Amino acid sequence: MADASSSKDNGQLSNLPQLHRFVTGHNSDGKAIVHSHNDFEWKPYDNNNLAFSVAYTTSEFPPNLNSDADVKAHAAVMEGGQLGLVNPRGTVLRCVDFAPGYACGMHRTQSLDYGIVLEGEVDMVLDSGEVHTMKRGDVAVQRATQHQWVNKSKTDWCRMIFVLQDCKPLEVAGQAMGEDLGSNSGLPPSGN
């Protein structure tokens, strides 16, 4: 369990373990080093029922690692304060904690997402009415579909980690399937 005092300092709401980010790089001899190391910083949403932590972003594909260009681009994205769910032309590595009994709003990102359950269980609900329970280690490959996440546990937080990758605009049966943030995201539009 996370130490309550450190959780308050970094915005973490859940009682799940604090996560740490290690960004690697190279020293002047070309040997691998840890460029930076820090605790995840959390931002609460939806009346403290949901918390996001963005571990890393890229802003182009393929990313440019020369002269720490990707590190500088990530810092600029985070300092800009306008990151939506998706980073246009790039990727977002985001961890999400869902409170017991919480259901996020139905939403769609214009992206290809890998969602991995780290702790607890969560229902993936699709707008077709399909419901699939996902457990620790299960992976959802979200392909710009309308979906929501429901933590049915009355007592336990659920944690997922997502890699969101911008994608080309999607059309299905002649209909554009753009971003739909739903009613309770609290995030700005992604702009992709």
When pLDDT is cut at 50, 70 and 90, the band that residue 185 belongs to is low
Looking up residue 122, the CATH number of its domain turns out to be 2.60.120.10
Least confident stretch, 52-56, 102-106, 187-191: 187-191
Is residue 85 domain-resident? yes
Full residue range of the structural domain in which residue 40 is found: 4-168
Is residue 157 domain-resident? yes
Is residue 178 domain-resident? no
Identify the pLDDT of residue 125. 98
Is residue 191 domain-resident? no
Per-residue pLDDT tens over the stretch 86-95: 999 999 999 9
Is residue 44 domain-resident? yes
Is residue 73 domain-resident? yes
- The three state secondary structure string of the chain is CCCHHHHHHHCCCCCCCCCEEEEEEECCCCCEEEEEEEECCCEEECCCCEEEEEEEEECCCCCCCHHHHHHHHHHHHHHHCCCCCCCCCCEEEEEEEECCCCECCCEECCEEEEEEEEECCEEEEECCCCEEEECCCCEEEEECCCEEEECCCCCCCEEEEEEEEECCCCEECCEECCCECCCCCCCCCCCC
When pLDDT is cut at 50, 70 and 90, the band that residue 4 belongs to is very low
Per-residue pLDDT tens over the stretch 149-166: 999 999 999 999 999 999
Is residue 183 domain-resident? no
- Tell me: pLDDT of 192 over 70: yes
Is residue 12 domain-resident? yes
Quote the number of domains for the chain: 1
